[in-house]
Chain A
Amino acid sequence: MNNKAIVIGGSAGSFKIVMQIISLLPKDFNIPIFICLHRLRSARKGFTETLKVKSSIKIVEPNDNEIIEPNKIYVAPANYHMYIIDGKIRLSVEEEINHSRPSIDVTFYSAAEYYKENLLGIILSGANNDGANGFLKIKENGGKTIAQLPSDCEISVMPLSCIENKSADKILTINDIIKNIIIFISLNI
């Protein structure tokens, strides 16, 4: 059986929020968390390093074929799609999807197929609709979905497109999203 996991997608205006979420995570969250954020292609370094400063949690840009471990945060490396299969992380440099590499849809889709109903998907501030199809997939597979409250976002296109396709279970402020994450982590599914 697959354990549970959290997958987070975001683009413009989501970096600070991700840092906030990470800094408020309990020490032993005991599940894997996958983060797929769009970023500039040239900004390859410094991203995970900045995240690491904020917490003592293990944050990695995984290698291809890496076995997923709990209590670890996996950030899609710049310029690679990141997807999950058979308890492992695989990478790809296929064409951009929705003008993005990494594409949030790719990560969401595969996580939805692997973790099914034991997945919590979160979509944050961003400027295109990458992630909306993947969000629908999470919902179809029985997972839970939370979109950031559009009025709370720096750029609201991304959560709005998930709200429009009716894939968001809840639409919440950041504080409430963090509460939900902590509840999700502590619940025994």
Chain B
Amino acid sequence: MLKLSRLLIIYFMFITNNKKINGKKKKNYERINIKIVILFVNCLKMDIANEEIKEFINIVVSLSTYDFSEYSEKSLRRRLEKIVNDNNCSLTEIIKKIKKNSDFLEKIVRDITVNTTEIFRDPKVWREIEKEVIPKLKKLEKINIWHAGCSSGQELYSMLMFLNEFDLLEKTSSFGTDINSEILEEAKKGQFKYRFNAEYLPNFDQVLNYNPEKEKVPYSKYMFISQQHDTIKINPQLLSKVEFYKHDLVCDKNIFGIKFDLIMCRNVLIYFNNNLQNKIFDLFWSCLTDEGTLIIGFHESIMGPAAIKYIKKGQCYFKKPLNNNA
């Protein structure tokens, strides 16, 4: 139906354009015709049937441990549309390739995942962590941190810099996990492109240097920045403080066997439906210590049944232990 209506509009445009050439606008005619061709190609490319998406989900579940059935339908569709356009073939053809080649399946899974992170993303959140969470961490003998969906690791490294400023790094162990094994390799290296990250460097100052009375923390304390080589390298001391593992939040549960004092999971759950979000908030709850804190994205919130298991303070969610409802 959609395709048909699009084609009708294009046809209509064609007719009205043809009228125009009888008049004057010949130059315009050519230009618009190119546009029509582009539109035509787009309309053939774009449409993916719901059944194809369902088939894709089913095939992936049957061939691997990945389960996209509770991903937000619209965003999964957008990802698949992008993949179809990038590969220049239909989803049905992609499904065929997936069946034959497990490496290709891994590649498609990586392409579905979104990788966005920044150094000290959302400075306001970090100031709240300073106020609400750091005092709690100071009381602990040992600190365990998990960043679920850490992507290339900028925020986890930011956290380690942050903790070091409060002399807490020594007693910290941190883990970063992501579904995308390729991006984890990047995270392990702790080396990022200057040109993609330079615009976030001011975040560093907003978080660590907002107090003019304190001595300024230079970038060089934690990062070696070379505009010439287009690199930002994280201080090797920090690299040794973090371990990265491949982990799929949808089905891998707690792979660590320990509880965490702080869990970060930012702008990951926005790609899941309500039901799956709730399951994962429950998972985080069970992975947190009784005094533990969960930090989610700036425009995320805990809704649904899991909401009563947390106490919200600004951007921080504190675990509400069971039997403590009185």
Contact = CB atoms under 8 A, between A and B. Distances in A.
Nearest to B32: A164
> What secondary structure prevails in chain B residues at the interface with A?
helix
A83 interface: yes
A140 B255 CA distance: 48
Given A41-B199, A136-B9, A64 B74 contact: no
Interface residues of A, number: 26
Interface stretch (A7-15, A17-25, A90-98): A90-98
B114 A94 contact: yes
A58 interface: no
A140 B5 contact: yes
A175 interface: no
Interface string B65-97: 000000011110011001000000000000000
B270 A90 contact: yes
A80 interface: yes
A24 B300 CA distance: 31
B116 to A, nearest CB: 4
B301 interface: yes
Contacts, number: 68
A92 B5 contact: no
B49 to A, nearest CB: 15
Contacts of A65: 270, 274, 277, 300-301, 303
Nearest to B301: A63
A166 B15 CA distance: 12
A77 B299 CA distance: 8
Contacts of B237: none
B41 interface: no
B72 A85 contact: yes
B321 interface: no
A4 interface: no
Most interface-central of B32, B270, B297 (chain A CB within 10 A) = B270
Contacts of B269: 64
A139 B13 CA distance: 13
26 contacts: A61-B299, A63-B299, A63-B300, A63-B301, A64-B299, A64-B300, A65-B301, A77-B299, A83-B74, A85-B73, A90-B72, A90-B74, A91-B270, A92-B75, A93-B267, A94-B75, A94-B78, A94-B79, A95-B114, A106-B78, A139-B9, A140-B2, A140-B5, A140-B6, A165-B35, A165-B39
